[in-house]
Amino acid sequence: MNIRERIYSALNGNEVDYVPWAVKPNHLPRGEWERNLRNLGLGLTIPVRVYNLLRPHVRIEQIYENSFQTNIYKTPVGELIQKTRIDLPSEAGERSSHWTTVPLFKKEEDYKVLEFIIRDTIAKPSFEDAEIIETELGGDGVVYTNMGYSPLMELMINFMGFRGVAHEAIRRKDVFEEILEVIHEKKLEICKVVASSPIKIVLVGDNIDEMIVNPRFFEKYCIPYYEEYIDILKSAGKIVGSHMDGRLRSLGKLIGETRFDFIHGFTPPPSGNLPISEARKIWKDKTLWINIPEVIFYYESSQIVSYVKKLLKEAAPGDRLILSITETIPPRHRRKGYEAITRAVLEYGKYPINSS
């Protein structure tokens, strides 16, 4: 089996020869050691965009001062201002060097302008580059795309921030839910564009963590939207997952109620709080697209091999399982970690895995 075949087999619940092990290109700098690892079976998972977002009636004025970038969103109904720190450490380019310090939305009067910005957004299909990338990648891995955050996480990450969402959901619940629906209408348009694209594997957001999205919020403000997007995408033959890389124990049963085919970025202990063995019991029909926690890369090489061996045995017999890395890897520990994980997969990842 080549790597592409392994990943698709894992996503579809079919048997594999070895548990697939693949990472994003920005986590794998080119070079001799990278080439050797790829020859041993390390694959690539390449994210691509299949649409561009346009806002024809919104003008953005940018001001740079010291370590900050200020974006002023100017619309026919008013202005919103966002401030971003732009000189943060980026871990050799693996982590974003930007962080929003002042969110776009700050007060009740901002709803009108925010709604205009959302409604003015147009999703323009852009398939050609994605098709070329997938063709050129061949059997060395898979290409996937993302339709963006669900409405709740869109508000939290791009518009309001965590505190803003918490405040608005309690103090101004009616108008908060109205803006969620406005975002949802736009997401349905984007979802239909993604569904018509040639890319088979699709993510729906979403960076879920139980400390940020509690079970009540998840059930009320995530699942209903997920299910509508899943309907559209699966009707078009897509394999659909969501990026949930946080602590998930209290959300486990609710996630199991969704019709996602896979959970992307699933992070087991010690960083996550839901063991693989428990996740397998409550998500019997879902593939675990695992993020090997960043902290593991600080271990000694032999300890990394032992961790991956334990992880594989816990997931025995190894079906519906993909090993990956979806967070920042410390560059000085990267080579040691990748070599140890590859060695562990070759030694202990042959299907079917013996759990004893």
- How large is the greatest C-alpha to C-alpha distance in the chain, in angstroms? 66
In this model, does residue 154 exceed pLDDT 90? yes
Domain end position, chosen among 71, 87, 120: 120
Residue 139 lies in a domain: yes
Residue 191 lies in a domain: yes
Please check whether residues 11 and 150 belong to one and the same domain: yes
- Please list the residues that pair with 324 across neighbouring strands: 291
Please check whether residues 25 and 137 belong to one and the same domain: yes
Please check whether residues 304 and 190 belong to one and the same domain: yes
Please check whether residues 70 and 161 belong to one and the same domain: no
Confidence at residue 328, expressed as pLDDT on a 0 to 100 scale? 84
Please check whether residues 66 and 130 belong to one and the same domain: no
Cα–Cα distance between 250 and 304 in angstroms, integer? Answer: 28
Please check whether residues 246 and 258 belong to one and the same domain: yes
Please check whether residues 102 and 239 belong to one and the same domain: no
Please check whether residues 80 and 166 belong to one and the same domain: no
Please check whether residues 196 and 271 belong to one and the same domain: yes
Please check whether residues 115 and 91 belong to one and the same domain: yes
How many structural domains comprise the chain? 2
Please check whether residues 32 and 71 belong to one and the same domain: no
Task: Assess contact for 145 and 194: CB atoms under 8 A.
Answer: yes
Confidence at residue 95, expressed as pLDDT on a 0 to 100 scale? 66
> Which pLDDT tens digit goes with each residue over 18-49?
999 999 998 898 899 999 999 999 999 999 99
Q: 275: pLDDT confidence band, cut at 50, 70 and 90?
A: very high
Residue 353 lies in a domain: no
In this model, does residue 356 exceed pLDDT 80? no
Domain hosting residue 155, numbered range = 3-52+124-348
> Which pLDDT tens digit goes with each residue over 188-246?
999 999 999 999 999 998 999 999 999 999 999 999 999 999 999 999 999 999 999 99
Average pLDDT taken over every residue of the chain: 96
In this model, does residue 93 exceed pLDDT 70? no
Confidence at residue 316, expressed as pLDDT on a 0 to 100 scale? 96
Q: What is the pTM for the complete model shown?
A: 0.96
Residue 355 lies in a domain: no
Confidence at residue 48, expressed as pLDDT on a 0 to 100 scale? 97
> Which pLDDT tens digit goes with each residue over 46-60?
999 999 999 999 999
Q: H or E element: which one contains 312?
A: helix 301-314
The DSSP 8-state label assigned to residue 322 in this structure reads E
